[in-house]
Structure 1
Amino acid sequence: MNFFGIGLPEMVVIMVVALLVFGPKKLPEIGRSLGKGIRSFQDASKEFEAEFKREAEQIAKTPSQPMEATLEPSQPTLAPADEVTAQPSEAVEKEASTGS
């Protein structure tokens, strides 16, 4: 019998020390709480494993071909040369001459 690398003689020594430290009345309560803790840890690890498997299956189901994208035509923009040639003072003069 080998639990977590601990043999039967070592397990007996641990039980005797626990009995001496905690006493016969507290030992069953400690064992119960330890069992509940181990059980909740097992449940959490099973839930994690199931979630991991679900995600792996979902990744395997995704199509291997790339998605196709189409670009919509955009509005024309000013070229850098147009921006440099258009002086703010010229725009003000044009507006003044048209009377707006």
Structure 2
Amino acid sequence: MIKIKPYKEIKPFKERNKPKFIHPDGEIIYGTILDEIEIEHGDLKGKFYKYLVQKILYDDRSEEFRFCYYYINFSNPNAHWIFAQFALTLTKEQYLEFHKRMQEKGWI
């Protein structure tokens, strides 16, 4: 049996800070996480991942989906969750286009 070191849980999305997005031109916009789907995954190297799809509402009332993840490295004596700062965001239309093309190629 593998013994996992104690660590803090990730706060529920409604208790986290608002997502901040910095565009290449330097513009900063904020959003609100409306909902979140999570899939957990561990590997043999001692890392554990939480893959997320988040529904984001921006201040201008537009919505996108953010694909992101947290990970924790249990080989670190101070194991804690780390948010991977680079995440893909897509509009509903962009997501549906990717899904359609994946189906056309037989990927799904």
Normalising by the smaller structure, the TM-score range is under 0.3
* TM norm structure 2: 0.22
* TM norm structure 1: 0.23
